[in-house]
Amino acid sequence: MLGSVRSLRTLAAVLLLLVPAGVVTVAAPAGAAPPAAPASRAEVLAPTPPMGFNDWNAFGCEVDEELIRETADTMVAAGLAAAGYSYVNIDDCWSAKERGADGRLVPDPVKFPHGIQALADYVHGKGLKLGIYGDAGTLTCAGYPGSLGHEDLDARTWAGWGIDYLKYDNCNNQSDGSQADYIRRYTAMRQALDRAGRPIVYSICEWGSSRPWEWARGVGDLWRTTGDISDNWASLRSIIAQNAPLYPYAGPGHWNDPDMLEIGNGGMTATEYRTHLSTWAMMAAPLIIGTDLRNASAETLAILGNREVIAIDQDPLGVQAEVVSDRDGLMVLDKPLAGGDRAIALYNATDHLATVGVPAGDTGLDPAGAYRLRDVWTGAVTEAAGTIEAAVPAHGTVVYRVRALRHHEHVAPAVTVAAALPTVVPGADSAAALTTTVTNRGSGPVRQVAVTAAAPAGWVVTPAGATRRPRLGTDQNLTTRWTVRAPDDVTAGEYPVRVTARYAWGRGATTTTSSTVVATVVTAPAPGRRALSSVVPYSTANGLGPVERDQSNGAAGIGDGNLLTIGGRYYNRGLGTAAPGELVYYLGGTCTRLVTDVGVDDEAPAAPATFTVHGDDTAVATSGPLAAGAAPVTLTADLTGVRWLRLTTTGTAGAHTDWADPVLSCGAAGPDDPVLPLRQTVFSFESGTDGFTVANPGTGGTVTQSTAFHTDGAAGLRVETPVPGNWFGAPVPASLDLTGRSGLAFDLRTEDVGTVGEIAVQVGDALTWCQAGRWAWTNPHASRTITEPFADIECPSGVTLDVARIRVVWVFLNTGGVVHIDHVRAE
């Protein structure tokens, strides 16, 4: 857990100044040399990564003994205990707000009326183990008593209750930020647990702040390597990217922990949840379930209970998979297994079907004439001659268990069916070109190869080349081009196109292999003035990484930019590109004008660069060469009758080129019409601080109006944050009605110290406190937009978030630095 309480559903209504406090988040000093690891303990308590359940992701503070008992019952009844899930872990909010008279932690008498020891006895009686939560600070993340300075007493208390697992968090830690302080605080609890006399698995949860993989072996049995996970694809993708390279540091009794599982919580697709479990297993990560198992779907239980994937995670060799390759969003992981097999994972982080593969010689596989591949999700068994490969769906992962194969004749050859389809425009005169490639990776030939492509009803798919081949030898392929036409009345969205290869192999056996490519349909924009960043492009090409929406280009990753910044001016809408770049939009002759600021972004001032707007084949506006640091230039382009809009940047390769605040007018839109999607300003700071104050006066923090940073108008708010953090906010104007809006957002810029950013609201006459738990981190000298969808904001039990009755809006900031914010708004 990173930050304040993620869910306050069990708390009563919180009055204006009685709100939860935040925490400090710090990074290890640059260039700090890791200290020598303490000597390992004789007993290895976690020879394989721990497996179990933790209540936090699904319940937050709404934890009690009934939930824990029922979860233990379900784990046994659903077969999860038999599959290896053994720990039932209680997270934050389990204790009373004050220690007992003897200084000991006291279970909340309402939530745990029979105490923790009785609960441990119950869980042990089920053949399971009980875990608990503590904090290496003065308070836990939710404001309950921490263990800093009480390590021995708390360790003895937990041991006396029969606790088997300790998650030890890092909130309110009073730290100076040094790695040495982290080692001191976490080693203190390690030593206390050793003195307590009971084997307790020790999970260090300091969010990777001090690079614990460098020092925590021998201190903890596992350690968090990242910030908190969230139940969305962007979070999962980011955490995989951070944890996968740390494979040299993991092993029996010392595991990298990329956080708990979100499988079953509803924020991702089944494909993404299978990637979640697959990559965690390949990374030898703890498998700690974070969903309500009592109400889990059959699909969720099937994913969590996949014995073949679990076996990879729990393999007794205890090796985290090595990253064999990682390029353009495609990653190959290679994990040795006991008995000589290897697990090979083909992971596709991109947004489209992609072929992911690796020569067997680039992995740890011994040379062989053929290899047996078993797909651990489908159970399909094939053989490959020398390339381990698959067509992997967007956000998907294929995992093979691989071994050498002496006789391949009776095993079906591995055949890859790849497909690529550009964006589709509806209409008989707008054909998209589908390309399919069928490749035989098997040791023997495939014969009578025939390819078909099937689209939704009303679509027309026509081959423009050969769809059959009498024979494909090893590594030979059949490439076919097709035209794809969508009906005139199809709506914008995503549609499946199924490509199937049918072929014979061996002694007359016949089989098929299929892949699904997603057709993205774009239509002409609806009438009105709208931010171009909200319009789906027909195609994009970029000089560095992906084109970024409403942020600068950043680096090669997705979503790694800042607010667009040109000559010191900040924008929270636009398109971040890198030269040479091109964006193409289908307008269909329905639009009239584009107005946009352009310039080289301040984050990477390579220049000059030239911006050009093309209507069909004609340049209708151009900037001429623009230098780094120059003020933005406004381009106005007449698009009357234009079917295709094309934006290009040329000049210095890699120059970060911004299309800032671009507004496209279509239909009968007038210059004074509002820009869509609509934004509703809550606080602008144009006339002062708008009444902003701190929620917890004793924690500290000040606010002043400032012109140093603004994204709307001419002024923003300068915030001096306290190290542990505070909530800053004010009552919303009485006339403000947020009905119809989807969420809240604000812009921020940091100085020498980074910060966590979060949003909370108080609703109704009782000023009930509601918030979510994203806790987005912003690095020093960076800027970004913090967003919080209303759907993710949770209120106490019995309270519904009525956006029309939001009375107060709060933003959370921390770490003791100066942070600038502006344009608190509803979107």
Q: Return the active site residues.
A: 169, 228
Residue 153's φ and ψ, nearest 5 degrees, are -65, -45
Residues ≥6 apart with Cβ < 8 Å to 220:
168, 186, 190, 202, 203, 204, 212, 254
- Buried b / exposed e along 696-710 (16+ C-beta atoms within 10 A): beebebebeebeebb
Which pair of structure tokens corresponds to residue 244?
A: 């996968």
Please spell the DSSP secondary structure of 593-626, one letter per residue: EEEEEEEE-TTS----EEEEEEETTEEEEE---B
HSE, side-chain direction, 13 A CA sphere, residue 490 = 25
Please list the residues that pair with 100 across neighbouring strands.
none
HSE, side-chain direction, 13 A CA sphere, residue 240 = 33
Pairing of strands 493-505, 468-472: unpaired
Which position has the token pair 């000059």? Answer: 608
Residue type present at position 424 = V
Which pair of structure tokens corresponds to residue 254?
A: 């010392």
**Could you tell me the CA-to-CA distances from 184 to 219, 246, 782 in Å, in that order?**
10, 23, 31
d(CA 8, CA 5): 7
Helix (DSSP H) and strand (DSSP E) numbers for the chain:
10, 50
Pairing of strands 726-731, 539-541: unpaired
d(CA 486, CA 424): 7
Strand boundaries in 624-782, DSSP class E: 633-638, 644-651, 656-666, 675-676, 680-683, 693-694, 702-706, 716-720, 726-731, 743-750, 755-763, 768-771, 776-778
d(CA 730, CA 214): 43
C-beta separation of 62 from 68 below 8 A: no
d(CA 134, CA 117): 16
